[in-house]
A and B are shown apart, each in its own frame.
Chain A
Amino acid sequence: MIPTQAQFNALFEPQGIVVAGASTHPGKFGFVSLHNIIASGYSGKIFATNRDGNEVLGIKTLRSLEELPAGEADLIFVCTPQAANADLLRVAASKGIAAAFITSAGYGEAGPEGIQAERELVDLSRELGILVIGPNGQGVVSTPANLCAQIVAPYPPAGSIGIASQSGNFVSSFMNWSCATGVGISRAVSAGNAACTDVADLLRAYADDAATTVGLAYVEGTDDGRRFFDAMREVSARMPLVLLKGGSTSGGARAAASHTGSLATNDRVFDGACLQAGATRASSVEEAFEAAATFATQPLPLGNRVAVITTAGGWGVVAADAITRDPNLELAELPDDLRRAIDEHLPPRWSRSNPIDLAGGETRDTIPVILDLVARHPDIDAVIYLGLGIQSNQARLMRSGPFSNDPDVQRIVAYHERQDARFAQAAHDVSVATGKPVLTATELAVAFPDNPGPETVRSTGRVCYPSADRAVKALSHLVSRRSFLESRGSDV
């Protein structure tokens, strides 16, 4: 059964929610989920059922779902035991509820009886016309509705990344990275056992969703690879889709007479499917999140020629190595006219090649000027800027040191902090003005996240990458998508 838009609206933009099985015990799902719904500031109507009719978190509970006024809630968040759920869903449907998120265990993961219960759940969802997510899932997040209906933290900042996962823990991981970087989430769903609604259904819904511009998914196995492939292809044609795949290193399943049988490992088949579909495959959770966050916040480059701007030698060299190693990227040859233009602003000791090493020759306005010159040049498609925040890091030491009251110290501290904020802002502004990606990278983003450099990058809505290598990888995924769109322009 293909879920409808109206059902997804009930899931992501509910007018009212009922938590079935609300509990007074703060360790139970029925307490935690109700707590999170209230704490995230959900503004629709909130109902809860509790067998004993106890008040939970200030909400007067219903002893039974029968007491729920019809038409007041369209999403039910189910924390009741498996055995109670079939009757519960029948009542829910009679009250106008169109979507159910089921956290209960005891289904397909729990032996033959559970498998039978899961089969019956699928039939029931069809019979009632109700969208069922789960069972055995962690919950649903929808920032446009201030909704955090889940049994775990965190509640991420609002943004445009849509998360779908076969593992609830990876929803949390991706959202923790969202909190760390400030690049926000639109919707997030843990599909649990995916009895009725799977990751492919959710990704298709995100492709139709105006609040979502990038899909991010964790998948392990799939019963019907072709169906998943078709979904990947449809979704990737409409928005970037980043996939993290678990269990991808096990060898080929069959050792037959054929060599191709042993070469066609699970991992290679999945890799091929992603490449054909135009989906971005990442090999770690950080890489997956940063790829999605970069798609969400940087323009797609027109080509693969990258310039590196650095305030000190070593960083630029390592970044250049990473770019050179990457099969999708090219370290741009520095054009003569650009070299001459930069000469105007720097003493002769600068590198005069790419990486553009300013070699400490910069004055007050050099960095914004160079960023602008480089990004504007037609032979440069993307820029990576290194060295942001080092002066502010010194300022931090001075600010907390024994001479922090000295007016000269205070003046230099303020100057450096102002300058780093300005450079971070310039990187963003230049990117917007030129329509080219400009990525900043420094470990200060994680070492001292309140450093004005990385902090300002975050305030512009973008990622300050923890290393040049990670910025290079993210950029590589963008370039790869650009070449896919160009090569398949006609047949996507």
Chain B
Amino acid sequence: MSSTLSEADSKALLASYLVPFSPEVLAISAEAAAESAQQMGFPVAIKLCGDGVAHKTERGLVRLGVGNRSDALTTAQELLDAARPEDEATGVLVSPMISGSREFIAGVNRDPQFGPTVVFGVGGVMTEVLDDAVVRLAPLTTQDAYEMVTSIANKGLLEEFRGEPKVDIAAISEILMSLSRLVVERPDVVSVDLNPLIISEGRPIAVDALVELDDQGASR
């Protein structure tokens, strides 16, 4: 059996492997959330956080572009009220909105035959529709990581795009290398999702993370 880490714990684990995240604050009350948002500057994103929270988007637990203090207060309270017992909610995460029109997905997974793999593809809301992803076996070489990024079908997304600069391929490759190290060093990690990985000013920033751990302490 496996279980998921909360978004905050998932991010803490991945940040220790040098995956870049947007700054964020875990607020335990609506008032604290509004205060943090005020300090960050609007607009912000507010999300429910807890060990059992999965499929946040589908359940409406991710609110983007919250524009002022009173909206932040209302939104945070709605999210806290929407929490179910199984969510084991610990609060709401408040972070500045990262702007960028390109979203990728990166992660790790364990294949029943080939063992640990690293995945990279087009992410965000287009993940399933475009179904554009590449997989390699971990551990990766830097060459493997580079080739992963450059071999997606929608290569045009890596070039200058809608007034935004080219994607920093080396920066994405580093994230893939980090994921490769993580899955090799931590046999209890069943899967990792970084989705979306937003390209902001050409650089990738992860704004969501989900880590799934094996309860027995070790996967295959």
Q: Chain A: residues with CB nearer than 8 A to chain B? A: 221-226, 229, 253, 256-266, 268-273, 275-276, 487-488, 491
**Which residues of chain B in 98-130 are interfacial with respect to chain A, using CB atoms and an 8 Å cutoff?**
105-109, 111-115, 117, 119, 121, 123, 127-128
Q: Mark B30-71, 1 if CB is under 8 A from A, else 0.
A: 000000000000000000000000110000000000000000
A270 and B121 CA atoms in complex are apart in Å by 16
Which of chain A's residues has its CB closest to B140's CB? A276
- Give the CA-CA distance A271 to B135 in the complex, in Å: 8
Contacts A222-B113, A225-B111; A275 near B136 (Cβ below 8 A): yes
- Residues on the B chain within 8 Å of A261, using CB: 109, 191
Given A229-B114, A253-B112, are A264 and B119 neighbors across the interface (CB < 8 Å)? yes
Asked if B193 and A276 sit within 8 Å, CB to CB, the answer is no
Q: List 19 A-B contacts (CB under 8 A).
A: A222-B113, A225-B111, A253-B112, A256-B191, A257-B55, A257-B212, A259-B107, A259-B127, A260-B193, A260-B195, A261-B191, A263-B105, A263-B131, A264-B117, A270-B114, A272-B134, A272-B137, A273-B114, A488-B143
Chain A: minimal CB distance from B87 (Å): 13
The reply to whether A487 and B192 contact each other, CB–CB distance below 8 Å, is no
Residue of A223, A253, A273 with most chain B CB atoms under a 10 A cut-off: A273
CB pair A260 B192 closer than 8 Å? yes
Interface class of chain A by DSSP = helix
Q: In the assembly, what is the distance between CA of A147 and CA of B19, in Å?
A: 58
Interface contacts beyond A229-B114, A260-B191: sample of 6 additional A-B pairs, CB < 8 Å, sorted by A = A221-B113, A257-B55, A258-B193, A259-B195, A264-B111, A268-B133
Pick the residue among A253, A268, A269, A487 that contacts B143 (CB under 8 A): A487
A256 to B108, CA, bound (A): 13
B-side contacts of A265, CB under 8 Å: 135
The answer to whether A257 and B134 have CB atoms under 8 Å apart is no
Asked whether, in the complex, the Cβ of B105 is within 8 Å of the Cβ of A260, the reply is yes
Q: A71: shortest Cβ distance to chain B, in Å?
A: 43
Q: In the bound complex, what is the Cα–Cα distance between A271 and B151 (angstroms)?
A: 12
Query: Which residues on the A side are within 8 Å of B112 (C-beta)?
Result: 253
Q: Indicate if the CB atoms of A260 and B144 lie closer than 8 Å.
A: no
A264 to B106, CA, bound (A): 11
**With an 8 A cutoff between CB atoms, is B210 at the interface?**
yes
The answer to whether A225 and B135 touch across the interface, beta carbons within 8 angstroms, is: no
Q: Is the CB of A272 within 8 A of B117?
A: yes
- List the B residue with the shortest CB-CB distance to A253: B112
Set of chain A residues within 8 Å of B127, measured between Cβ atoms: 259, 263
Determine which of A221, A264, A488 lies in contact with B109 in the assembled complex, contact meaning CB atoms within 8 Å.
Answer: A264
Q: How far is the CA of A229 from the CA of B138 in the complex (A)?
A: 12
Q: Within 8 Å of chain A (Cβ to Cβ): is B95?
A: no
Interface bits B191-205 vs A (CB < 8 Å: 1, else 0)? 111010000000000
Q: Specify the chain B residue showing the minimal Cβ separation from A221.
A: B113
- CB-CB nearest 6 A-B residue pairs: A260-B107, A225-B114, A225-B113, A263-B133, A272-B136, A258-B191
